[in-house]
Structure formats: C-alpha cells, structure tokens
Structure 1
Amino acid sequence: MVDNEQEILDTAYDKGFEYERKYGYCSQAVLSAIQDIFGGIDDEVIQASHSLAGGGSLDGDGTCGGYGGAMMAISAFFGRKRDQFGQGDVADWMDSSKLSKEVREKFIDEYGSIICNDIQKEIFGKSYNLWDPREFEAFEEAGGHDDKCPGVTGNAAKWTAKVLLDEGIEPKL
C-alpha cells in the first residue's frame, strides 16, 4: 500500500472530475486520470474508448462510460494480451474481470446501476436524450458537465485507482 493513498485517491477523483468537466467523454476522462497517475495506458487506448461515453454512442442505454473507462484501465494492467490467446484456461484470465467487478459494485452501491440512463435518473431525477439538442441543453443546464457527470467520473477514477493501488500498481506521481 502506498503511504499517501488518500492523496492519490483524491488526485484521481480531481483529475477525473476536471477532465470530464472540461472535455466531456467520461470514458476518456477516467482513462486519462489513471494514465496521469499510473502510466501504463497508451493514448490509443484513450482514443479507442471515445464512443463508450454516454452509455455507448451517447445513447444512454448501455454501460456508463466512466465504468467502461474503469474496466479498460484495469484491463490495461491485468488483461490478457493478444499474444496470450490460446494460452492457459479461463481461470488464468479472470483477474481483470474480478477487479473490474469491484468497481462495478461501487457503482451499484452509489448509483444503483452501471447503466448510464439509470445513473442519470439517480443524479438528475431523469435521463436525457443527448442526441436531441433541446435535451442536451437541458442536461447542461442541470449541471451535466458542471458537477453531475464529473462527480460520477471522478468516483470512477478514484475507485479504479484504489483497485490498482490495492493490487500493487505503483503511481508515477
């Protein structure tokens, strides 16, 4: 365990929050926060996560992009590599799924779901169609990128950082 664990977790939250507030795309915000703190995530991974935001393609009916980014970050450290296809059995490749499940449980405890629309209903009282310009404007006016989604994203980054610290991944800070 790192001596300054709470500082690392606070930094993860703050970075995730700020990236989402300034730039949107929760999946990329989580991955960028983790990259800043731990390294180990290529810019191409951040790019590849882009359309996971807003429940996938901004449609809201899929997994929260913040959780998607968390799973990608954990898998960047503990997932199976392509050159390992066909090696070992299923049990040899369960670590990233087990660790991602820890973050999933945090989402369930905090928001009742990992689904974007459900999380929106929890934090806004309703969900928004982000493709509809009027609803997107209402989403923004309700704090979409001021504090609501940045708070979710900050938590996802913090929870991911906690998993990585608990598994012995050393921060580069």
Structure 2
Amino acid sequence: MAITTRTSFPETAMEKKDKEALAEEAYRKAREYELNYGCCPQCVLVTAQETIGLVEDATIKASHGLAGGGGLTGQGTCGALAGGLMALSAKRGRDRDKFDGKNPFISNFKKGRELVERFEETFGGVTCEALQQTFTGHTYDMWREEGYKAFKEARGEKCGHVTGMVAKWVVEMS
C-alpha cells in the first residue's frame, strides 16, 4: 500500500461535507492499519499524516513505546488515545521556541480534554487495561508470550475500531 502525505490541509478549505468524508476515510485507514500492523498510536498518527498532514515521521516513530498502555504494560493510557492527543498537539501544541511559560496554549488542552472525555464516554475508560477488561472480560500480561497471543486473539476487531474512532475524531477536531 502506497503512503501519501498531505503537508497541510487549511481549515478554511475543509467544508463540513469534505471533513465528514475525510473523517470516515481516517476511520477506515486507522482501523485497517491497526488490524494489519498493530501499534495503535502509530496507526492514528500515520492516518493523521495521510489525511490532514500535521504529523512528522519523527513523531510517529516517537509514539511507538506508547502502545499497549505504554511499553505493553496495559497500565497507562490507551495507545490510540495517546496517538490522538499527539496528533492534536502537533497542530495546537507549544513549539520549542515558545518554551518560556508565557502562553499556556490552552486551546490545545481544551481539545485534548474533549478527546479524552469523548473516548471515556464511548469506551468506558482510558487505560489499555480498562479497555481489555471491557472488551474481553480479562486483562493480559503482554510481556508473556501466551498473554500477548491471548490478547491478540481476544481483542478481535475491537482495538481496530478504537483506533479508527480516535483517528476519525482527530480529523473532526482539527
């Protein structure tokens, strides 16, 4: 599959109908990437890069360790949600040259909070373990081979759906 990248997508050019279609495209791409390749934060970020720009390759690489609740521990934020927060911050977050504490960049925090609240309302939690429990009735030790295999089998398409929804929401919120 060839990867195409848009370097920018001006908000003024995005009509509501176009944005809705792009959001649906983002859902499909991110879901497919998660089901085929795994690493949910990267799947969200690659999709954001391909649909609305914003995300650089280094950011995608840096998100790798956030998968599985952070280091595959399950204990931290769902990787798809973490990837979504990174994508939103790529647009609204604080640049290095503004690292002086003078501007809190509150609009970024507002969008981040909106994403977290929407995620929790939809999926019933924000951690990887909470979603594992909700989706499968169990949590898994992904550092044990049998735990990782069991999780991959039990999650079915659920993680793909979560990843797709986060990517869709990122497009809608951008």
The TM-score normalised by the length of structure 2 is 0.87
Larger relative contact order (CA 8 Å, sep ≥ 6): 1
Report SS of the residue matched to 1:131: coil
The answer for the alignment partner of 2:151 in structure 1 is: 139
Matched ranges for 1:100-111 at <5 A: 100-111=112-123
Q: CA RMSD for the aligned pairs?
A: 1.2
Cα distance in 1, alignment partners of residues 101 and 151 from structure 2: 46
* Cα deviation code 1:66-118 (max 9, x no counterpart): 0100010000000000001116333xx11111101111111111111111100
Matched ranges for 1:46-61 at <5 A: 46-61=60-75
Aligned length: 160
The answer for the alignment partner of 1:6 in structure 2 is: 20
The TM-score normalised by the length of structure 1 is 0.88
Cα distance in 2, alignment partners of residues 87 and 149 from structure 1: 37
Unaligned residue ranges in structure 2 (runs of 5+): 1-14
Indicate yes or no: 2:84 matched with 1:74: no
The answer for the alignment partner of 2:164 in structure 1 is: 154
Unaligned residue ranges in structure 1 (runs of 5+): 165-173
Q: 1:129 aligns with which of 134, 141, 145?
A: 141
Cα distance in 2, alignment partners of residues 120 and 156 from structure 1: 17
* % identical equivalent positions: 39
Cα distance in 1, alignment partners of residues 54 and 20 from structure 2: 21
* Cα deviation code 1:5-56 (max 9, x no counterpart): 3211111111110111111100000001110001121100000000001000
Report SS of the residue matched to 1:4: helix
Report SS of the residue matched to 1:3: helix
